[in-house]
Amino acid sequence: MSDQPTTPADLAGARYETTVRQQAAKLRDELIKQTIEDMESWLKAAENEWTAAHPDKPFGSPIPPQEVEQYRAKVRTEYFEWVVPAFERYLTPDPDDIDPVIDSLRKIEGMFEGQADAAGNFTGASPALSRINDVRTDMAAWEGSFKNNFIDNFLTPLQSIVPNQRKLVSLVRGQLECNKIIYIRYRAAVLKLLEKGIHATQMLNNARDPKAELWGTLIACAIGTALGAVTGGWGLAATAVLLDAGGTLAQGLIPNPPETNDLSAPTAVEVGIKITQAMNALDHDTSEQERLVANALNEITGMLENNRSKAIFANTAGNFSVAAPQLDDATGKQITDGAFRPAN
């Protein structure tokens, strides 16, 4: 698996929060400025207000100057006050909030590292796993059916399931890393939307036929079927989807998204409407990606529960658990009868 994804400096912490607030305030001010100064935008807004407020007046009646000024004040203080609070919603979630969990899983994964040689001797990365061999050595001083059962049905399967447990932790960590990547891209898309929204608004002053301003939605983490991501025999459904953070990082953490949303419009008010539509699209796309992560984690949990429940019910070694050895419920008489005795 690739190194843990790092949030780019411009998308992290106070720097990101400051940029969002500053750019959102700039967007609000540009929308106000263009609505008032751009004659096309202003007249359309004022006429709409006048018509709604005076349904009894003939269409096209002149607007009294004092009411025009009331509309100007309304544009300055009400029309676009939604902009900054709307973008402040994007200050969370913080991609780095999940780092402690990812770091913990990486440490646990490292504790399960190890390998077994042809003779069955297991070398673990942690002292606790090395005790598996110590116990095997200690058991050499004993003999009897209980000793054989303990080695064959408990000790040997125990060292065999360690790689599976490590892989399981790795899979969970990978899903959480993808979740972090989703939020990193989420923040990148927010800044891009602000940038393009400001530019689309400013373009109203430069041409009556503004050039297209495009903004793209997020791209999900690279997706592969679970059967291609884990060893066979675990029982993951062929339709299960796991997200591959490594594949995503290999493609570039924040690739250029496909440009699909046109923010250009004849008036500033209509640009504002298109920005809100783009924000809704961003929320929907991110929600869909969060759903993929949740589904992947549920799939892993279901697979683990299925494997463990079958093995525990049958008291046999499974992919993630071992059977209880006969010593677990041995009676004193069975032991004294020679089923577990010191070797000569």
Structure token digits, residue 251: 């493609």
Length of the chain equals 344
Question: Which pLDDT does position 116 carry in this prediction?
Answer: 57
- Scan for tokens 């493609």, then name that residue: 251
Instruction: Answer positive or negative: Cα dihedral of 255, 259, 261, 263.
Output: positive
Boundaries of every domain in the chain: 11-91, 98-342
Output the pLDDT for position 183.
Answer: 92
- The beta-strand segments (E) located in the chain are 114-116, 122-124, 142-143, 214-215, 222-225, 241-244, 261-262, 341-342
Position 311 scores a pLDDT of 92
pLDDT at position 204, please?
81
Return d(Cα 280, Cα 288) in angstroms, integer.
12
User: Would you state the pLDDT for residue 227?
Assistant: 46
- The candidate with the shortest Cα–Cα distance to 234, out of 296, 309, 307, is 307
pLDDT digits (tens, 9 = 90+) for 168-194: 998 999 999 999 988 998 998 899 999
Look up residue 236 and give its two tokens. Answer: 């993951």
Per-residue model confidence (pLDDT) at position 265: 84
> Across the 344 residues of the chain, what is the mean pLDDT of every consecutive 10-residue run?
77 97 97 81 71 77 77 87 96 96 90 64 66 82 89 85 86 92 90 92 67 56 59 61 73 53 82 90 88 91 92 91 87 82 82
Tokens of residue 35, six digits: 């609505």
Measure the CA–CA gap between 114 and 167, rounded to whole angstroms: 12
Alpha-carbon 5 to chain mean position: 11
Which bin fits 295, alpha (ψ -120 to 50), beta or left (φ > 0)? alpha
Amino acid at 121: N
**What confidence score (pLDDT) does residue 258 get?**
45
Structure confidence at residue 22 (pLDDT):
98
* In contact, 325 and 315? CB cutoff 8 Å: no
What pTM value is reported for the model?
Answer: 0.81
Q: Is 139 left (phi over 0), alpha (psi -120 to 50) or beta?
A: alpha
In contact, 187 and 95? CB cutoff 8 Å: yes
